[in-house]
Structure 1
């Protein structure tokens, strides 16, 4: 199997919204948004809202569980320029450990919740997030915070 053309992998706890669906999709010339998230894969309402955003950008969209992403992404057509959107660092780690060829991860939004500390304007992490980021970095994945394409990448080092 050929390696899938993953043009960007982004962690964003909102998954697909205007910024992802319009700004990032055009910046990386993606023609397919792949939402790898177990909950979204089985939630028709979430899918409907995200599909509307994708359609406004003229790109296709798929909603797969993490497991389906691991077992199926290698079958992607070379014509598919995939923008992989995931919700958490832990999900990213599962995909990498499952063999999905992710070389870089863009961290967009990880909202505040109890027990999380702020590491950038829009990124809050707890120990589980830090552990997952450390494992990703150890696996050779470049992890960086970048809200919009015009901003400079803030590359994460181990916590």
Structure 2
């Protein structure tokens, strides 16, 4: 399977992903990977209804994503993978999914989180997962849509004092 983009976005599939990223990346599949959403028939239905014309959308749990990623029957897939949080991205990478960078779309604010940009807030669990991902040499790219200029989430986290400044 060719993963054209691994995106972390608490909103999962929405207009920007459906209309911009999927079109620019020329994917044939959008795969929403979430144990919680895979068990929630209402959310699954809503996500599938947001799919752009001509692109298949699947909602699957984490372990199923790993099974299909390593299954040669799916080698021809060109996919956009969406996860809700950095921990799920970390899990996929720890278990062998290969990516050079992760796009961070939005991480919704709540009282236990600190705002780091206008659309990204993090808690300690997110920071730990992002730290591990960064330590693997994977770039943490912030862009809402493809045409936006890329920003480095790791640099922003360092500037905000949320991670050690000695690590690059």
Kindly indicate whether residue 42 of structure 2 is the aligned counterpart of residue 42 of structure 1: no
Q: Could you list the per-position Cα deviations for residues 90-127 of structure 1 after superposition, in whole angstroms to 9, with x for gaps in the alignment?
A: 11101111111122100001011112111111000111
Instruction: Write the distance in 2 (CA, Å) between the matches of 1:22 and 1:51.
Output: 14
Instruction: Write the distance in 2 (CA, Å) between the matches of 1:80 and 1:69.
Output: 13
Query: Secondary structure, in 3 states, of the residue corresponding to 1:39?
Result: helix
Kindly indicate whether residue 64 of structure 2 is the aligned counterpart of residue 68 of structure 1: yes
Once the two structures are TM-superposed, the CA of residue 19 in structure 1 deviates from its matched residue by: 1.4
TM-score (norm 2): 0.86
Once the two structures are TM-superposed, the CA of residue 79 in structure 1 deviates from its matched residue by: 3.0
Instruction: Write the distance in 1 (CA, Å) between the matches of 2:19 and 2:78.
Output: 15
| Residue of 121, 134, 144 corresponding to 1:124 | 121
Kindly indicate whether residue 143 of structure 2 is the aligned counterpart of residue 146 of structure 1: yes
TM-score (norm 1): 0.91
Larger radius of gyration: 2
Contact 2:68 2:74 in 1 (8 A): no
The runs of 5 or more residues in structure 2 that have no matched partner are 164-168
CA RMSD in angstroms comes to 1.4
Q: What number of residue pairs does the alignment pair up?
A: 155
| Residue of 80, 83, 87 corresponding to 1:86 | 83
| Residue of 132, 137, 140 corresponding to 1:135 | 132
The runs of 5 or more residues in structure 1 that have no matched partner are none
